[in-house]
Structure 1
Amino acid sequence: MRKLVPALALITALLASGAPARAEIRVMPEGNRNAEQPSVPGASVRRTKAGKSSFDAKYEKVRQLLATDSKLMGKIKSTARAYGIDPIHMVGAIVGEHTYNVDAYDRLQSYYVKAAAYAGNSFRFAYDGESIADFVDRPQFSVCAGKKGSYALWSCREGVWDKDFRGETVGGTSFPNNRFSAVFFQPFYAGQTFGLGQINPLTALMMTDTVARVSGYERLDENSAADVYKAIMDPDQSLAYMAAVIRHSIDVYRSVADVDISDNPGITATLYNIGNPDQRAAELAAKNRSGAAQWPEENYYGWLVNEKLTELKALL
């Protein structure tokens, strides 16, 4: 009981000083906010048609992979435990990615084989002959020098790209009006993601500190693109990065927007798909401060996860 005294004294002091009380955390319920599925992007529709498939067929294929591969499901569950999340969030992200973005392999082993094909290859993160290491050494990025941790550092660098370089000509070099990740981190073709978790190389660099701390994998370095690709294509490491991304989304919505999204896999799947959870949580917080409390909304990808939630939970 003695440990309670300082805490009670602190609360009393805060109340006496008139300091604002911490907003109550609202727990978002399960289910979709939209009665009908939001529109699926045309690129996803075209990609699926080009593969002579359908969203229903791709969903059934990935669901079947999860239902029949006990080794994969065991890895999902153990990884989810390590990151303190419900494994349904990882299942939802995998289902969404392989329904709308890529077609699932039939076996987990196929993902290992694909990852091995990238190991040892000489890849380089660069644009127009300038390596990413040289690029972030430009003076515009000095504002990021004091950032602690890989997520804060690379998020800062992404912000500098958007502010000072995206669509601009700087020092005689014309930079594309495109995402930082597409310009510098995807040498094969823009928009490409990889592996079981379909993780972007820039996302992996952001989450490498968390994954190193929780899962014990080696920290990734932007100067070793081959190691980054191996990490996001190897199923074991890919699952760790997936879990870290989901954990971060849950944490930032709770701390910034005062919303607990951990009971809504459709929302975590949506954030996994669209990215930028920090910015989106801040935007939701601003809306909630200026009017009636709102919930985050699922997109087409998260909508499917919530719509199929009973079926997906049965896999666990």
Structure 2
Amino acid sequence: MLAKRFCNLCLRNGGNGIKNKQKCFYSSSSGKLTNAELRKKRNAIFEEEKAKQLSFIKRLEKISVKYSGHPEIREGEGNVELLMNKHVSTPYNCAMHISEFLMKRSVVALVDGEPWDMHRPLVDDCDLQLKHMLDEDPAVSNHAFWRTGSFVLGYIFDTAFKDNVCVELCDYPRTKVEHGCFLYDVNIDIPDWKPTQMELNCLSRVGGCIWMKNLDFEPLDVSGDVALKMFEDNKYKTKVLKQLLDNSGRDSISLYRMGDYVDFNKGPLISNTSQIHRYSVTSVHQVESDMFGKVYRVQGLALPIDLKMHWWVWEFLCKRAAKPNKQPIKYKKEAQLKQILEMNQN
């Protein structure tokens, strides 16, 4: 609670680096929606589309889910066959039937060997594995956690500033775990903003508080038209969406919701905000993007709840994550993306 009040004092009242800077006023009277109003609008569209998709399910069909457990799971919980509801039940629901320990620990699922969100409904008979951050091979979990880190960066900048500061999210550049930080490009109408360490700490506290809120990362696939309607007030997001739809050859976009914040993301993301322990906004740099022009590149780092780390090691990693990451924004066709992923796995 104190951290939230401190964030409000630092950012929503201007902060040292924002004081006396030019600001763009978003208000209903000027014909533009505030970020809070935009979140409410997008959340309403998300809820409407979710209800619409559920209404298509006229009757419940059963599917067989064969769970293969980890060796450390207690006796009787290693291999289980469950009867679940098609298009309704999720891997998280399967974990609930097996054990509370498994339900809380699992960050992402493998469904017939393919990465799958914990809260994404199952669509057919399948083999199920549940992955966590301490797996012998944590690659799938790490990638989900990394994408979630970028998603949370968007949430922080969408919610931390006062409504009279114009903040428009652009997109998160795809970056490897080895680069040491995750990214989000943001347009803020504060010329030459160089945030102080106090302001970075305030932003970090917004991300650090979400673990207490226990919010699910809820996926929903929607048509391109629905996604474009949802983000019609953001010219940057609209541009990215159109390019994604053109390059993918599909009329489908994966949305995710955390509380009332909605954004699109390739996914899968982790299951719940309680699985994020430490979170730091490490730096903000001005960069020139081929797609957006001059924007602010926000860099961050997070630590999952299952991993313990000495404070000085964490500080060392945060300093490394603060170095400018010049990763370009590129959108490739799915065949090219698949080829790149295969090369990285090898």
Q: TM-score range by the shorter chain?
A: under 0.3
**TM-score of the aligned structures, taking structure 2 as reference length:** 0.23
After TM superposition, the score normalised by the length of structure 1 is 0.25
Which structure has the highest helix share of the two?
A: 1
